[in-house]
Amino acid sequence: MKILVVGSGGREHALAWKLKQSPDAERIFCTPGNAGTAEIGENVAISAGDLRALVRFAKENRVDLTVIGPDDPLAAGVVDLFAMEDLPIFGPTKAAARLESSKIFAKELMRENGIPTAEAGTFERSDDALRFCDRVRFPIVIKADGLALGKGVIIAPDPAVARSIIDEMMNQGRFGEAGRRVVVEEFLRGTECSLHALVDGTRYRLLQTARDHKRALDGDAGPNTGGMGAFSPANNWSAELEDQFHKKIMRPLLRGLQEKKITFRGLLYPGLMIGADGARVLEFNCRFGDPETQAILPRMKSDLLPLLESTIDGRIEGCRIEWDQRPSVTVVLASGGYPDKYETGKPISGLSEAAKLGDVQIFHAGTRRANGGIVTAGGRVLAVTALGSTIQAARARAYDAVTRIHFEECHYRRDIALAATTNEREFIKTTSP
Ligand code: AMP
Ligand code: GLY
């Protein structure tokens, strides 16, 4: 089969790497890909946002399956466009992807179906949102309705900050159209957990759990980023939580979508907050998580290709997914300054020395080939994943690999998965504002 992976991050490298292992995979294309995907398949210079060019490429090259990595093309309707041309594609339609692309849509659907989530108000007018803030306890969380490159969620510690954020988003166009409507919600305390479900419209299979580290600096300090590391399985998950997750979240959600005549096919990743009263939904994502995917897929023993295909054909229920029971730890290497200003074009060394370590996978994100070598080309540069017999062993191995890799102004967190090896209470403390 010919497979096209759309996107250029560590998640897409991990997807391409895993799909390449399938006995049915003949050729892998990546649009636009990175220096890592170029080693697995063929990079094609089409941006993930150029939907018509993607359709044209898939048609001309008789691609048997297209796999979409990022959220934007899904929200823009790439799956609908492919479907019109009878081109097989993994991912939800534009209508189903609203679960991620409209936080108001997601919140209302959760409310209608009794799905546990933060208490919230949804607003189209700033004076209504401001009045609501007079009545609630602080801190509160203000969320732009639309996609805002992962930056549209802001915690307001007091009414003055809340007022200025609401004004910036709703009246002054911070985040553009995405911020014209907002959700204002209760601040939830607890620990976060990322679930991934392969959904075929009516049925689903869960992947292994993971947790990510969103803040830039050790001890969960500094600004939010796209993700500085992850580990799998999550240390705050249990059989009891999983049972509740099926009953109170996944089944009501799929039922609620069906009532609206919306069919979700693809990867649904609910971000959860686990508190004293169980799991509540923070958000829905309609694609694989980054960097969770880089932690989860190296643990997957089964062939990923038929699993993705089964979401399209409605056959997920018959699929079994086998896992390596060993935990994984993923450390992201970023450019100095990320998530703010950073420089690119720095030569990267030590990749092959690091790759020689057993049970280590190096996934590229912001990298490109230049002058016979590989240089940095983005904020998040690499994601290094290691498996180990324990989370401590996986951690030690991941950092062993990380210290063999060098580029100027490389920044990474030293405490990825650390709390999982010591005390869960540390996590509870750090998610409070
Ligand atoms: P979202 O894009 O909705 O997942 O929000 C991004 C991040 O903001 C989440 O992963 C949480 O760390 C945090 N967050 C979102 N909503 C809340 C909430 N209601 N209470 C506390 N933290 C939140
Ligand atoms: N790990 C966060 C995300 O993929 O949205």
pLDDT, one tens digit per residue, over 29-58 is 999 999 999 999 999 999 999 999 999 999
Would the CB of 188 count as within 6 Å of ligand 1? yes
Q: What mean pLDDT comes out for the span 85-111?
A: 98
Give the per-residue pLDDT at 429.
Answer: 45
Q: Ligand 2 atom closest to Cα of 288?
A: 4
Asked whether 285 lines ligand 2 (CB < 6 A), one says yes
Residue 433 in this model has a pLDDT that exceeds 50: no
Is pLDDT of 241 > 80?
yes
Backbone torsion region of residue 371, taken as left when φ is above 0, otherwise alpha when ψ lies between -120 and 50, otherwise beta: left
In short, whether 71's Cβ falls inside 6 Å of ligand 2 is no
Measured from the alpha carbon of residue 101, the closest ligand is 1
Read off the pLDDT band of 426 (50, 70, 90).
very low
Q: Output the CA 153–ligand 1 centroid distance in Å.
A: 7
How far is ligand 2, taken at its centre, from the CA of residue 290, in Å? 5
> Which tokens is 308 given?
């993705």
CA of 177 to the centre of ligand 1 (A): 20
pLDDT in tens, 366-390: 999 999 999 999 999 999 999 999 9
Ligand 1: residue of 283, 428, 431 to mutate (most ligand atoms within 8 A of CB) is 283
Task: Tell me how far the alpha carbon of residue 192 lies from the centroid of ligand 1, in angstroms.
Answer: 9
* Centroid of ligand 2 to alpha carbon of 212 (angstroms): 8
Which residues have CB under 8 Å from 64's CB, separation 6+?
1, 2, 3, 88
| pLDDT recorded at residue 220 | 93
Cβ–ligand 2 distance for 101 under 6 Å, the answer: no
* pLDDT exceeds 50 at position 278: yes
pLDDT by residue (tens digit) across 168-191?
A: 999 999 999 999 999 999 999 999
Cα–Cα distance, 74 to 408 (Å, whole number): 35
Among protein residues, the one with the nearest Cα to ligand 2's atom 3 is: 289
User: Quick check: 293 pLDDT over 50?
Assistant: yes
How far, in Å, CA of 159 to CA of 425, rounded? 29
Mean pLDDT of 208-235: 95
Residue nearest atom 5 in ligand 2 by C-alpha distance: 289
For residue 62, the CA-to-ligand 2 centroid distance in Å is: 31
Q: Which two tokens stand for residue 175?
A: 């985040």
What value does the mean pLDDT take over residues 138-161? Answer: 93
Query: Which of 292, 293, 294 gets mutated to test ligand 2 (max ligand atoms within 8 A of its CB)?
Result: 292
Per the prediction, the chain carries an average pLDDT of 95
State residue 431's pLDDT score: 47
pLDDT at 430 over 50: no
Per-residue DSSP letter, 277? T
**Is the CB–ligand 1 distance for residue 220 below 6 Å?**
no
Q: Is the CB of 309 under 6 A from ligand 2?
A: no
Question: Is pTM beyond 0.85 here?
Answer: yes
Confirm or reject: Cβ of 394 under 6 Å from ligand 1: no
Please tell me the distance from the alpha carbon of residue 301 to that of residue 387, in angstroms, as a whole number: 13
How many angstroms does the Cα of residue 196 sit away from the middle of ligand 1? Answer: 17
Residue whose CB lies within 8 A of the most ligand 1 atoms, among 71, 104, 117, 141, for a mutation test: 141
Atom of ligand 2 nearest to the CA of 150: 5
C-alpha of residue 378 to centroid of ligand 1, in Å: 25
Question: How far away, in angstroms, is 248 Cα from ligand 2 center?
Answer: 22
Which residue's CA is minimally distant from atom 15 of ligand 1?
282
- Amino acid identity for residue 37 in this structure: T
- Proximal ligand: closest to the CA of 100: 1
Pairing assessment for the beta strands 197-200 and 204-206 based on DSSP bridges:
antiparallel
Mean pLDDT of all residues in 238-258: 97
Q: Which residue's CA is minimally distant from atom 16 of ligand 1?
A: 282
The closest of 202, 205, 311, 204 to 258, measured between CA atoms, is 202
| pLDDT value, residue 423 | 53
Rounded CA separation 91/100 (Å): 12
Segments in 245-390 forming alpha helices (H):
251-259, 292-296, 304-313, 351-355
Q: How confident is the model at residue 150 (pLDDT cuts 50, 70, 90)?
A: confident
Q: Which residues contact 60 (CB under 8 A, 6 or more apart)?
A: none
How far, in Å, are 32, 178, 327 from residue 49 at the CA level? 10, 17, 34
Residue whose Cα lies nearest atom 9 of ligand 1: it is 282
CA distance 149 to 100: 12
- Residue 199 C-alpha to ligand 1 middle, in angstroms? 23
* Structural domains of the chain sorted by starting position, each given as residue range(s) with its CATH number in brackets: 2-91 (3.40.50.20), 119-186 (3.30.1490.20), 191-318 (3.30.470.20), 328-422 (3.90.600.10)
